[in-house]
Amino acid sequence: MATKSYAGVNVDVTEDGYLTDPTQWNKDIAAEIAKEEGIDLTDKHFEVIDFLRAENDKGTQLTIRMVGKSGITDIKGLYTLFPAGPLKKSSRIAGIAKPTSCV
C-alpha cells in the first residue's frame, strides 16, 4: 500500500492506484484521478460514479451491465464516458476497489 496526494489530501492507494478507503474520497480527488486517466469529468460521469459508490456500499459485485440498466447511460454511453475502461477506470475514479467481476 502507498500514500498519494490528490487535491491536497493524502489518501491510501493500492499498487494499481485504487483508493483503499472509499470514505477518503471526494469530488476533487475524483477529478484529479480522472485527469490521470485522461478524462475530464462531467455531471454524467458523476452520476455513474455516484451509482457505483452506492452499489459498492451495498456490497454489490459491480458489472457494466448493471450500469447499463441503471437508466443513467447505456453500455455504449459508458464506453464513451470512460474509454477503454468502463468499469476499471470508473471504479478507480469513484474511489472504490478494483472490480472483481469478469463481466
Partner 1 sequence: MSEEKKKTPLKKVFIIVAKGTIEDIYAGLVMANGAVMEGIETKLFFTFFGMDAIIKKRQNKSKTATVGNPAMRMPGGLPFPTLLGMLPGVEAGVSAMMKSQMAALDVPPVDEFIEMIVAGGGELYACKLAFDMFKLKREDLDDNVKDVITVGELYELAGGEPGTQIIFT
**Residue 15 interacts with partner 1 (CB under 8 A)?**
yes
Catalytic residue among 2, 47, 102, 103: 102
**Residue 44 interacts with partner 1 (CB under 8 A)?**
no
The secondary structure of the chain as a DSSP string is -EEEEETTEEEEE-TTS-BS-GGG--HHHHHHHHHHTT----HHHHHHHHHHHHHHHTT----HHHHHTTTS--HHHHHHHSTT-TTHHHHHHTT-PPP----
**Residue 64 interacts with partner 1 (CB under 8 A)?**
yes
- Considering only the stretches 28-36, 38-46, 47-55, 80-88, report the one whose residues sit in contact with partner 1 under the rule CB under 8 A: 80-88
Binding site for partner 1 (CB under 8 A): 2, 15, 61, 63-66, 68, 74-76, 79, 83-88, 101-103
Q: Which residues are part of the catalytic machinery?
A: 102
